[in-house]
Amino acid sequence: MEKVVLVTGANSGIGLALCERLLTEDRQLRLCLACRNTQRAEAARAALLTSHSGARVDLLHLDVGSVLSVLSAAQEIKARYNRLDFLYLNAGIMPNPAVDIRAFFTGFFSRNIINMFATAEGLLTQQDRPNSDGLQEVFATNLFGHFLLIRELEPLLCQPGHASRLIWTSSSNARRSAFSIEDIQHRKGKEPYSSSKYASDLLSLALNRHKNNQGLFSSVTCPGLVMTNLTYGILPSFLWTLIMPIMWLIRIFTNTFTLTPYNGAEALHHLFSQKPESLDPRAKYHSLTSGFGNNYTETRQMDVDDEMSEVFFSKLLQLEKVVRSKQSQRNAEDKANQQYVHHAE
């Protein structure tokens, strides 16, 4: 039976590399690239079909940071497919990043150097802002849009006698200290990216608790440090060019510098062939690359607890209600406006 796999943020970086790897693994696959940028999505599809002629690759417009787009994309998915085996929740942003150079040099000459390079702890801040739905953009894109998508797709994902899988692209930058259960959207802090990734770790745990008995299994991955559009946005390009040889050198000392999207997609690809029974709901699956360039996946325990994940889950359900009712109000207003224009004409 052909598997249906949907990947969000599939037009570049880790998402696109994952699609390449999945098509190499399973030629029968029906792959759906869910992307917000249609032009880039078409280019990605063309590239995939060049290396895998005859493959079944569909496109779907999805801006995961927009409630309206998520709701209409979900309708489209339910109309197109009668099953969804894998949903890769991969799209992500890190807007306006800034590196704390002083913290970098302090860390560089300390015992914390390896951890600093692996997790960017204390190094990175971002500036976030509310989007047109009134949600913080990083939270909306990296977490809430995906949550809403899962909720909308439950009829496909939770089918009796059939297991479906969620696979999150989290990060080594996900830190409990950056997340506040009182401020789940991270309105007040300067580490919305770290907070949103920690939130995905919490949500995955809660989803497993609530949905495993309905055949839905969630896992969290960490791709390591990968050179993609997201990372290239952190430093000016001349600086990346300057430090690139150093980055390849550091790779000898830390296996988390996976660097290429192909390597970064290792754990995401590894999970594709794992049976649901073998998954650990509290584990993060890390893509790692040895100094000799060999890829492997390692499981490490996440710093998450049941109580916090449960509170977080109920807060998300509450927010979902608010967001849905706002959206229906908007739809009603739009309809009324259209009727008004129609009558006026």
Ligand X SMILES: CC(C)CCC[C@@H](C)[C@H]1CC[C@H]2C3=C(CC[C@]12C)[C@@]1(C)CCC(=O)C[C@@H]1CC3
Among residues 88, 193, 198, 285, the one annotated as catalytic is 193
Q: Does 19 bind ligand X (CB under 6 A)?
A: no
Q: Which is nearer to ligand NDP, 192 or 223 (CB)?
A: 223
> What residue 167 binds from ligand X, ligand NDP, none (CB within 5 to 8 A, per partner kind)?
none
The CA-CA-CA angle for residues 304, 227, 41, to 5°, reads 95
- Residues 4/80, Cβ–Cβ less than 8 Å: no
Q: Which is nearer to ligand NDP, 80 or 209 (CB)?
A: 80
What are the structure tokens assigned to 14, written together? Answer: 């880790």
CA–CA distance, 194 with 120 (Å, rounded to integer)? 10
Q: Which is nearer to ligand X, 93 or 323 (CB)?
A: 93
Q: How buried is residue 231: exposed, middle or buried, by Cβ count under 10 Å (0-12/13-18/19+)?
A: middle
Q: In degrees rounded to 5, what are phi and psi of residue 34?
A: -100, 105
CA–CA distance, 234 with 244 (Å, rounded to integer)? 14
- Residues 33/44, Cβ–Cβ less than 8 Å: yes
CA–CA distance, 100 with 196 (Å, rounded to integer)? 20
Active site residue 193: yes
Q: Which of 43, 56, 71, 104 binds ligand X (CB under 6 A)?
A: 104
The CA-CA-CA angle for residues 227, 297, 3, to 5°, reads 90
Q: Which is nearer to ligand NDP, 69 or 112 (CB)?
A: 69
**What is residue 272's three-state secondary structure?**
helix
Residue linked to tokens 């249609």: 38
Query: Considering only residues 227-246, where is the footprint of ligand NDP by CB under 6 A?
Result: 228-231
- Stretch of 113-121, 146-154, 203-211, 272-280 lying at the interface with ligand X (CB under 6 A): 113-121
CA–CA distance, 126 with 96 (Å, rounded to integer)? 5
Number of shown-chain residues binding ligand NDP (CB under 6 A): 29
Q: Which of 5, 220, 225, 288 binds ligand NDP (CB under 6 A)?
A: 225
DSSP code at position 1: -
Q: Strand 283-289 to strand 97-99: parallel, antiparallel, or no bridges (unpaired)?
A: unpaired
Q: Does 60 bind ligand X (CB under 6 A)?
A: no
Compute the least distance from the CB of residue 99 to ligand X, in Å. Answer: 5
Q: Which of 243, 249, 317, 322 binds ligand X (CB under 6 A)?
A: 243
CA–CA distance, 278 with 29 (Å, rounded to integer)? 22
Q: Does 220 bind ligand X (CB under 6 A)?
A: no
Beta partners for 35?
Answer: 61
Per-residue contact string for residues 117-156; x = within reach of ligand X by CB under 6 A: x-xx--xx--------------------------------
Compute the least distance from the CB of residue 138 to ligand NDP, in Å. Answer: 10
CA–CA distance, 4 with 285 (Å, rounded to integer)? 22
Compute the least distance from the CB of residue 94 to ligand NDP, in Å. Answer: 6
Q: Which is nearer to ligand X, 239 or 332 (CB)?
A: 239
Q: Which residues contribute to the site for ligand X (CB under 6 A)?
A: 99, 101, 104, 117, 119-120, 123-124, 171-173, 225, 231, 234-235, 243
Q: Which residues contribute to the site for ligand NDP (CB under 6 A)?
A: 8-9, 11-15, 35-37, 40, 62-65, 90-93, 141, 169, 171, 223, 225-226, 228-231
Active site positions, annotated: 193
